[in-house]
Amino acid sequence: MAAIVGGILIVGGVALHPRERGQLHDAEHLLEVVAGSGRWVGLHVVILIGIALLLGAFYGLTHSVTGERGIAWARLAWSFAIVGVGLGLLLMLIESVALPALAETWSGADPEQRDLAASAGSVGYELAMTLAAGSAVVLCGATPLLYGVAIIAGAGYPSWLGWLGVMVGSISSIVGMTQMVTGDTTLTGMILFPMGLLVVAVWSIWLGALMLRKATPAGSLP
């Protein structure tokens, strides 16, 4: 159930996330969007809960993959899942706690103090962009990729689910590394990373449905 509920929360939170032209061009644009949004904090808390639930989903998958090779890959994937979820939670905490506080300070500052508030906002902005890139590589990239390999190498799940995980993970890893190399926050932060998180969430929902079906005794199925 953690995979299904977590995936649904992430899909809902990302779909309703405020998006305005130029909001990731610099810190001041982002602070302006955060200060003017009435749903910024709530949506990021929803996504935070969804990401936290993914850890339970990955734990269940780790212990439900069978076959010697599959188990070995699943254990490796679990270590990446812990790091990836940690990065995702840190990102959501910054965006739901630190950025709103900085935005409130910036919007209410006197003209001569705005530069100082904007400088503080720049630190939060750069940290958020760094964690977003790291989350794209580890949480949305390496984790589903390695679990996909575990599913393919092991037994207990259809191989197409594993290949889907490999595809999703590969694309998300490329997205995160592209941001790290180019520094392009608009393309990755506004389009590619949210899309990657959405795809991982949908993959998680599908995975959760299969895990739930595996856990249900055959005689109790409708």
Digit-coded pLDDT (tens) for 119-137: 777 787 778 888 888 888 8
Residues of the chain with pLDDT under 70: 21-26, 183-193, 215-222
The whole-number pLDDT of residue 74 equals: 94
Say if 221 falls within a structural domain. no
Tell me what pLDDT residue 219 has: 41
- Number of structural domains in the chain: 1
Check residue 220 and give its pLDDT: 43
Mean confidence (pLDDT) of the chain? 82
Q: Residue 217: inside a domain, yes or no? A: no
Q: What is the pLDDT of residue 184?
A: 60
Residue 70 contacts residue 30 (beta carbons within 8 Å): no
pLDDT score at 218:
44
In a domain, 202, yes or no: yes
Q: Which domain holds residue 165?
A: 2-211
What CA–CA distance (Å, rounded) separates 29 from 37?
13
Share of the chain above pLDDT 90, in %: 23
